[in-house]
Structure 1
Amino acid sequence: MFTGIVQAVAKVAAITDRAGLRTFGIEFPEGFTEGLAIGASVAHDGVCLTVTRLTGPNSAEFDVMQQSLAITTLGGFGVGDGINVERAAKDGAEIGGHPISGHVDFTATLAAIRQPENNYVLRFAVPPAGLKYIFPKGYVAVNGASLTIAEVNREEGWFEVWLIPETLRMTTFGSKKVGDRINIEIERGTQVVVDTIASEIERRLGPLLPALEAFARERGIAVGDLTAPIATPVIDFNKG
C-alpha cells in the first residue's frame, strides 16, 4: 500500500527488453534506497513495481509485464524520463494522502493547463467508464499522487485538480504537456459505493428498464440523466 505522497522524482537510466518482459533501471535521489531490498515495492507514477535487482547505492531494476506496459504509461517511457516514486508505506505510517494500491485503473489525457496566480490547474479527459467514479471534493491518484478533485464535467468528460507550488516541486507535473497520458487510480471506497448502488438499481429496476427507457425517450431524457449525481458547486476564490 502507498499513501499517495510522492517522495521523489527518479530517472529512467536503462531499458532492456526480453520476450514478454521489459526491465527498467531506475536512478533514485540520494538516500531514497536506504534499506531497500529485493522484493520490496516502489510505486512508479502510481504503478506498484517489485525490486528485482539492486544495481548501485541509489539504483535498482524492476521487471514489467506486457499487460502493465499496455494499460499504463510505463510503455511510453524512455531513458532520461522523470517519474514520481514512492516507497511502500510501513505499518503505522501517516496517511498524508489516501490509501493507494498501486494498481492503475485507466489512463487519462492531459487536456488543458491553466496557471492562476500561485496555482497550477490540470484538466484531464477521462473515459466514460472511469468518470463515474470521479466526484468533486473526492480523491484520485494521478501518477501516484493523491489529489483532491476540484471540478467535474460529465457532459464533456473531464475533471480538474489544483496544484500548489510544493506539489509541482516534488513531482513531474510541471513538465507535463497537453496531450500526455496520465495514470489514474480511483479511490477504492468510492468504487465500492458506486458499483454497489449500480448493482442494486439494476437488481431492483432491471425488469422495468425497457418501460423506463421508453418513458424517457418520449420526453427526450437519457436514462442515465435520471440517476446522474448532483454536481457540487465549486467556488473560485480568485473572483471577487
Structure 2
Amino acid sequence: MFTGIVEEVGTIARIQGGAHSSTLEVCARTVWEDTHVGDSICTSGVCLTVTSLTQRGFTADVMHETLSRSTLGGLSVGDKVNLERAMAVGERFGGHIVSGHIDGTGTVEHITRDGTAIWYEIETTPGILRLIIEKGSIALDGISLTVARVDDATNTFSVSTIPHTTTHTTLTDTQVGDAVNLENDIVGKYIERLMRAGNSAATPQGITMDFLLENGF
C-alpha cells in the first residue's frame, strides 16, 4: 500500500526485454535506503517488486499485463519516474490509499498556469472517468491528487497542483500529449462492484439502492 506522496524522482538506467516482459533498472537514492529484495516500490504509479539492488538503485521485472495497461512499456533510458516506498506502519498517511495497480492511462490535454498553481486537464476512457468524482482522489503517475473538475461530455478531468508537488515529481517535465498512469480510488471501485453485484440475477440479495435506503444510508 502507498499514499501517493512521492519520495523522489528516479531515472531509468537500463531496460532489458521486449513487448511481453522486461526488466527495469532505476537509479534512485532515497528509496534505495532500507530497501530489500522483495520489497514493493511504486514507480510512476505502478507497484513493482524489487528483484535486486545495485550500486545506483534497484531492478524490477515488469509483466506483459503491466506493460500493456500502463505507460511503462513506452519508457526509454533516461526517462524520469516518480518513486515511493510502501507505507510503513506508524507513518503519517499524507495522501490516499494507493495500491499501485493501474486501471489505465490518460492523455494530458491542457496545462494552464493559475498564479502559483498549475492545472492539468486529462482525457481518459469513460470506464475510468465514471469512478472519478469532483473533490475525490486520483493517483496520476503515482501522485495523490485531488480532482477539481470532471467533464463527462469530453471524458476529461482536471487537477490543480501546488508548486511543491510540481517541482518534486515528474509533473515538472510533463507536456501536453504525454500519457499518464491512472489509478482510481480503490473505495469507489469496491462500491461499484458491490452495487453491480446487487443488480445481478445471480445475487438477488446483494447491495441495492433499496437496501441502502432501508438501512439508513
Is TM (by shorter chain) over 0.5?
yes
Say whether 1:54 aligns with 2:83.
no
Q: 1:19/1:70 Cα in 2 relative to 1: closer, same or farther (>3 Å)?
A: closer
For each residue in 1:122-179, what CA deviation from the matched residue of structure 2 results, as whole angstroms up to 9, or x when unmatched?
0000101111100000011110011100000011110000000000111001211111
Structure 1 residue 76: Cα displacement: 0.5
Consecutive unaligned residues in structure 1, runs of 5 or more: 204-240
Cα deviation 1:95-133 (Å, max 9, x = unaligned): 100011110011111111111110100000010111110
Output aligned runs, 1:1-240, within 5 Å.
1-17=1-17, 20-29=20-29, 31-56=30-55, 58-200=56-198
What's the CA shift for 1:4?
0.8
Residue ranges of structure 2 left out of the alignment (5+ in a row): 202-217
C-alpha deviation, 1:202, in angstroms? 6.0
Structure 1 letter corresponding to 2:147: I
Aligned to 1:236: none
The verdict on how the C-alpha distance between 1:161 and 1:169 changes in structure 2, with shifts beyond 3 A counting, is: same
* Structure 1 residues 172-212: Cα deviation after superposition (integer angstroms, max 9, x where no partner): 01211111111001001112223333444566xxxxxxxxx
| Between 113-122 and 192-201, the greater mean CA deviation after superposition | 192-201
Tell me how large the CA RMSD over aligned residues is.
1.7
* Aligned residue identity for 1:55: T
Using the alignment, how far apart are the partners of 2:115 and 2:25 within structure 1?
38
Distance 1:19 1:202, change over 3 A: closer
Distance in 1 (alpha carbons) for counterparts of 2:146 and 2:18: 39
* Number of equivalences: 202
Q: Answer with 14-23 or 136-145: which moved more.
A: 14-23
Structure 1 residue 36: Cα displacement: 1.0
Distance 2:20 2:141 in 1: 24
Larger relative helix fraction: 1
- Between the aligned partners of 1:76 and 1:142, the Cα distance in structure 2 is 16
SS at match of 1:156: coil
Distance 1:201 1:167, change over 3 A: same
Q: Quick check: which has more Rg, 1 or 2? A: 1
Secondary structure at the counterpart of residue 115 of structure 1: strand
Where 2:154 maps in the other structure, the secondary structure is coil
How far apart are the structure 2 equivalents of 1:18 and 1:202? 41
Instruction: State TM-score, norm by structure 1.
Output: 0.80
Cα displacement (A) at 1:32? 3.0
For residue 34 of structure 1, report the CA deviation from its aligned partner: 1.3
Residue 182 of structure 1 aligns with an amino acid whose one-letter code is V
In structure 1, what is the Cα distance between the partners aligned to 2:20 and 2:92? 37
Q: Percent identity?
A: 36
**C-alpha distance in 2 between matches for 1:157 and 1:98:** 23
Structure 1 counterpart SS, 2:114: coil
Specify the code of the residue in structure 2 equivalent to 1:143.
D
